[in-house]
Structure 1
């Protein structure tokens, strides 16, 4: 008999033997009857529990070939009902992962304020789910860092996780939203959770909750289920530290079921989700401060006065210290660069350093106390590695289009940033304006090169040899106010000497009510482009009074065939029926113009950024 402490893959069974999976005590034991038949092999009865279970052959031992065929059936079938489950009882799907995404999509509802007036969306119902999933004690035992905010909370959590991982700790990171794959939300030791583990934990939670569904206790909504799943994953994987990013707000967020985190932080606050959180910075700050807990140290970055007064007031009510962190001094990096691009990341890095230092101190782990040592001229080596190696998709990210062959055609580079609030538009504009320049000027004696310069060194021709043009690829969700976003973006870019030669407006490929790779995309004829046409109209009005700038000399093919792909075309903007249409047009432009370099800023929505990444990476 062989044993394994990880997820069993039946492929590892050997002929003539049996395989046992040891059940971790943190999982209940139960079994599902499964009948498996392999070509040229006799039928085998396997008793299995889909996760935290044991597999064993009970009749003629399975050969390696039969076992290899068995595994996909185990994944697809083991989550059926315990009594009489049959393969034909479920609708056929492309893969077990797609089936999980179908189930997850069914939980998506219109977001609403989580209070007692909303049946099924009450905050207190979360504790019923936690009890069902037997997570009460595991959550109490977790050493959690909790982070809320409007801007930078994902980056702050990423820095924090990277630092503590480099300190040697087993880390769990829960963030949102995902860009391409839902598994991005759950990171173990810096890597997305594997598909096998994700499916195992997903169906364990799903089936457990389904047993108790009623009119008074419906299935949790989309984000709530994902938060519960994160708690299950981190408890089962026995992480040393769990870093949790608040999904929306704070007070009623699903992550706020924790009673006593080790430390919590609030990143930069601004106007976002106002239909849910309130119309003033004070109201928004009040929701974010809902994560403060009595006896738990709290940190924040410099905030607008209205927001800071509310944060300080809430901290005072709970009799806890609220410390305002300082922007990280670049000289502490010893000439290295932060892993995340953008000057604003030094604010997030400063908060991450404070959170990590406090977590280490409060959990009894020795470390140089950076916060109290005013003479500290450098960071601990582990902190330095964590800050300089942190990585995160979709935020100040530069991706060259490898479909376009450099040297044969022009250059096409995407500058992706998921900015979607007025304040983040300012930050995005400053980053983009700086990144498209070949080199940064030395700052405080530290010379840094932009990623754009890095691309030049790796095959891209010098900007002086090619005619660079700046293109905006934009969309935002209908809950945002584009009249607050687009003017803010263009004004900030203009202040840095950057003017967009053209704006492209597209609908997102991913849709709010669907998750996963199996989504059926609407045909061009079925796409409602009224929102994109309104964005274009706003853009045209913004540029109507602008003085005519000198038109850059380009080959006439830059404008050629635009009207064949776009729905609405003008000199300064176009509406395309899909992202693939827009990207196809951009690629054609540089293929026909060897002297052309297109620098495309993709912003306005993290969903848009994720959709573009799917197509160009």
Structure 2
């Protein structure tokens, strides 16, 4: 067993969330293999819960639970009516699945640890006030998070808004695309980050969607980028340009001790160029896509250093994230009528780096 949860020997209650193709180099390359690793958390005599899973994964979980004489209970998504007119603090339909599992785990933990006053409300047809407060106030930085760039004056410049989601698996990429598409179209989007009016005549700025992407080299971009593009396109959201950058943060594979500098004078961009080719191939193969009629994104006029791709290209590789951010800021400063909506995804490291660079 390679999953870290296997090391928890005496849990109070066990829960397994939606399984997908993630960390495959460690957990396995089929849903059955991945489920087999995740099933290690199931312990004899301990209540266990999960959510609806693909058949291949569910069969493995059920077999493991049966071998330990554990009744694996499948939890349904949270009924929105139980929130008393409020909404979950975390965006996305999948969060109602997660919330349903969290509630089942919480009630079981309360009951098994002697907090019977709250535990006895499980079948009352309503949720404890504490549950509702937690579910509606929950936040998770870097997941379905909308951040206006604090270094851009939206009153005098164009508009620059970052949509952050650390999705890095095929399943989460599709969920991310649905969230982003709804957000840029004004669905469930806070008023403070909606594109602002350009002039007193109420003519709106030209809204352009941009992708800012990187992922670890152990991941297959052919499994990440096409679902992202196609899901957005199905919602009539089309990226005008994709930017590929290396991460700023340094991370190390478990078990390695070599320290590398995050400031490299000549960064190796071979992986970013691979991502760019995967994106361009997806663009070319998407024959049925109707091109969205928008003006081209103006390039920075006097400084083309650090990037590969021209103003008419659908993708650009930048040698660093700060250069990509600078290009985005220069674009909206030079074009007051432009509103750039930038989806940042593929890597939690990238999302964290963007957060650092966009907040004062």
Q: Pick from 82, 90, 107: which aligns with 1:340?
A: 90
Any conservation in 2 of the 1:471–1:599 contact (CA below 8 Å)?
Answer: yes
Q: CA deviation at 1:565?
A: 4.1
Could you say which residue in structure 2 is the equivalent of 1:372? 123
Secondary structure at 1:469 match in 2 = strand
Could you say which residue in structure 1 is the equivalent of 2:111? 361
Could you say which residue in structure 1 is the equivalent of 2:31? 281
Q: CA deviation at 1:460?
A: 3.5
Could you say which residue in structure 2 is the equivalent of 1:419? 167
TM-score between both structures, scaled by the size of structure 1: 0.54
Aligned pair 1:590/2:332, yes or no? yes
Q: C-alpha distance in 1, partners of 2:4/2:28? A: 19
Deviations 1:120-172 (A, max 9, x none): xxxxxxxxxxxxxxxxxxxxxxxxxxxxxxxxxxxxxxxxxxxxxxxxxxxxx
Q: C-alpha distance in 2, partners of 1:303/1:610? A: 30
Any conservation in 2 of the 1:407–1:594 contact (CA below 8 Å)?
Answer: no
Q: CA deviation at 1:461?
A: 3.4
User: How many residues of Structure 1 are paired with residues of Structure 2 in the alignment?
Assistant: 348
Deviations 1:472-514 (A, max 9, x none): 0001100000011001111111111111000000011112239
Any conservation in 1 of the 2:245–2:320 contact (CA below 8 Å)?
Answer: yes
Q: C-alpha distance in 2, partners of 1:313/1:612? A: 43
Q: Pick from 341, 352, 360: which aligns with 1:610?
A: 352
Q: C-alpha distance in 1, partners of 2:121/2:27? A: 35
Q: CA deviation at 1:264?
A: 1.1
Aligned pair 1:455/2:205, yes or no? no
Could you say which residue in structure 1 is the equivalent of 2:234? 495
Deviations 1:503-528 (A, max 9, x none): 0000111122399xx984324x4200
Q: C-alpha distance in 1, partners of 2:178/2:331? A: 26
Q: C-alpha distance in 2, partners of 1:394/1:591? A: 26
* Equivalence map 1:97-496=2 (5 Å): 251-365=1-115, 366-367=117-118, 369=120, 371-373=122-124, 376=125, 378-438=126-186, 440=187, 449-451=188-190, 453-456=191-194, 460-461=196-197, 465-496=204-235
Any conservation in 1 of the 2:14–2:41 contact (CA below 8 Å)?
Answer: yes
Q: CA deviation at 1:317?
A: 0.8
Q: C-alpha distance in 2, partners of 1:316/1:562? A: 64
Unaligned runs of at least 5 residues, structure 1: 1-250, 441-448
Q: Which has the higher contact order (CA 8 A, sep 6+)?
A: 2
Any conservation in 1 of the 2:5–2:38 contact (CA below 8 Å)?
Answer: no
Say if 1:317 and 1:603 are closer, same or farther in 2 by CA, change over 3 A. same
Say if 1:550 and 1:331 are closer, same or farther in 2 by CA, change over 3 A. same
Any conservation in 2 of the 1:341–1:396 contact (CA below 8 Å)?
Answer: yes
> Which has the greater radius of gyration?
1
Any conservation in 2 of the 1:295–1:320 contact (CA below 8 Å)?
Answer: yes
Q: CA deviation at 1:263?
A: 0.5
Any conservation in 1 of the 2:142–2:351 contact (CA below 8 Å)?
Answer: yes
Q: C-alpha distance in 1, partners of 2:92/2:147? A: 15
Any conservation in 2 of the 1:565–1:585 contact (CA below 8 Å)?
Answer: no
Aligned pair 1:538/2:278, yes or no? yes
Unaligned runs of at least 5 residues, structure 2: none
Say if 1:493 and 1:361 are closer, same or farther in 2 by CA, change over 3 A. same
Q: C-alpha distance in 1, partners of 2:114/2:205? A: 57
Could you say which residue in structure 1 is the equivalent of 2:252? 513
Let me know the Cα RMSD of the aligned residues.
Answer: 2.3
Any conservation in 2 of the 1:558–1:593 contact (CA below 8 Å)?
Answer: no
Q: C-alpha distance in 2, partners of 1:587/1:508? A: 19
Q: CA deviation at 1:537?
A: 1.1
Deviations 1:49-96 (A, max 9, x none): xxxxxxxxxxxxxxxxxxxxxxxxxxxxxxxxxxxxxxxxxxxxxxxx
Q: C-alpha distance in 2, partners of 1:299/1:418? A: 26
Any conservation in 2 of the 1:299–1:325 contact (CA below 8 Å)?
Answer: yes
TM-score between both structures, scaled by the size of structure 2: 0.90
Say if 1:534 and 1:566 are closer, same or farther in 2 by CA, change over 3 A. same
Secondary structure at 1:412 match in 2 = strand
Q: CA deviation at 1:425?
A: 0.8
Deviations 1:21-70 (A, max 9, x none): xxxxxxxxxxxxxxxxxxxxxxxxxxxxxxxxxxxxxxxxxxxxxxxxxx
Say if 1:561 and 1:490 are closer, same or farther in 2 by CA, change over 3 A. farther
Q: CA deviation at 1:259?
A: 2.0
Deviations 1:566-615 (A, max 9, x none): 13445201000000000000000111111111000000011111111111
Deviations 1:258-310 (A, max 9, x none): 32111010000011222221221111101000011111101111000110011
